[in-house]
Amino acid sequence: MKILLSFHDGYFLEFVNEVKDSLKDYEIEMVDRECLNERCYIGKDAILVIGGDGTFLRTSHLNSNLPMIGINPNPEKKEGFFMQLDRYDYKKKLPGMIRKLRYSNYFRLKVSINGKMIPERSLNELYIGTKKPYELFNYDIIVDGKKEFQRSSGILVGTPAGSHAWIKSAGGKKMKLDDTKFQYVIREPYEGKLTGRFSLKNGLLPDKITIIPKNPSILVIDSVSREYDLDEGDTITITPAEPLRYVK
């Protein structure tokens, strides 16, 4: 079996090497999360992530169908929502998880900009808004065929897993992890003379949502991807993607 081991260079390297040494029966390729690309996933049977949720999310972005396992090296200080194991129990549990590779499917999202699909998939949420949080974002939002001009501090579109993170903090609905819908939340809507009251502030989505910026803005996936620059008039369409295989 070939395993891709993703980590963050400079963090917990002694523990990373300890885990690698415990997997002598497998072919391991270690890759710093900053160096991941599509080629790293080719020919692998599974992915092992050592780090926090940021490293897990970054590693999931380009993963199309490989089952993933996460180990939290510092559970006292790292939240580790996505990490199934930690430094204290991995020796007991990891061998069986790798051998069986039983998994659940986690809902993800994909994004197209002007009809062109970007490679990353979102496991938590997407942010669309201005680079500076204090600047007003102007845009059209289209949900279920209804189009509305809005002004706010940005939009969050998130998955069931993401509803336990930023979207929950922004006032969204906490969802079950096996839900098959996603949701959006308008951050700090500005309802003034030019807009009136908004009818599309938040809600569950079965299929898609479209955003058309009216001023320069950015799109970021899971708060850890590159910033995609958006121009006035661009069309951003967000739809369900292939699920993530999450080892149990």
Query: Which residue numbers are catalytic?
Result: 53
> What does the alpha-carbon distance between residue 192 and residue 183 come to, in Å, rounded to a whole number?
25
> 63: closest CA among 42, 84, 85?
42
> 48: closest CA among 21, 74, 66?
66
> 66: closest CA among 150, 152, 4, 153?
4
Structural tokens at position 114: 């002007």
Is the alpha carbon torsion for 45, 239, 119, 61 positive or negative?
A: negative
- Give φ, ψ of 54 to 5 degrees: -60, -40
> What does the alpha-carbon distance between residue 183 and residue 209 come to, in Å, rounded to a whole number?
9
> What does the alpha-carbon distance between residue 49 and residue 207 come to, in Å, rounded to a whole number?
30
Residues constituting the chain? 248
